[in-house]
Each structure stands twice: as C-alpha cells, then as structure tokens.
Amino acid sequence: MPRRVLTGRVTSDKMDKTITVLVDRRVMHPLYKKFIRKSKKYAAHDEANVCKIGDLVRIEECAPISKRKTWTLVERNGQTVAEASPASAG
C-alpha cells in the first residue's frame, strides 16, 4: 500500500528534529453542499533541522518514530530534502 503524502505549512520548528505542519483541506458539507476548510496539525520528523516557520513542505507517512510522530519530511519549498540514512551513519 502506498504511503500517504500531504502538503502543508510549517507552524512550529521549536522542537529538536521535529516540525509542526498545518495541513488544510477542503471538504464538501454533506447536507448543504458547501465547501468547508478543515485543517489539522501533524508532527513530522526533520532530521537536519532545515525547516523554518512558513516553509511549504511535503510530509510522508512512515513507521512511528515517537508517540505522536509518524510523518517524515520529504520536500521543503520544492527542494527534495536529503535525509541522512541510518546505514551511512555507522
């Protein structure tokens, strides 16, 4: 099954190796058929601490890293982020 990929804005970069991403989406109201804006915040893993508040990022679903962190950073402002792979660290 493919991993989900979401696009959103960074709202917080205060944590070490973690960013908070606000993802907006539009859903249609079932009765009134009007589009409503809904948003949700996700905690995402940013290994190199490259993201700043306001950046447009893409995050990808991954295996749980911590209690509430199950997303990892893929792209920042249109540029692919080069993650440090665990194999090269050893």
pTM for the predicted model, two decimal places: 0.83
Does 24 fall in a domain?
yes
Task: Give the whole-angstrom CA distance, residue 54 versus residue 76.
Answer: 11
Does 32 fall in a domain?
yes
**Residue 35 sits in a domain of what CATH number?**
2.40.50.140
Whole-Å CA distances, 6 to 13, 30, 63, 87: 18, 23, 16, 27
Contacts of 58 (CB under 8 A, 6+ apart): 5, 6, 7, 73, 74, 75
Does 79 fall in a domain?
yes
Does 55 fall in a domain?
yes
Does 17 fall in a domain?
yes
Does 45 fall in a domain?
yes
> What domain count does the chain have?
1
Task: Choose among 17, 42, 37: nearest CA to 27.
Answer: 37
Does 90 fall in a domain?
no
Task: Give the whole-angstrom CA distance, residue 60 versus residue 4.
Answer: 6
Element (DSSP H or E) covering residue 79: strand 79-80
Does 89 fall in a domain?
no
pLDDT tens series, the chain, 90 aa: 789 999 999 999 999 999 999 999 999 999 999 999 999 999 999 999 999 999 999 999 999 999 999 999 999 998 888 765 444 444
Domain range for 28 is 5-84
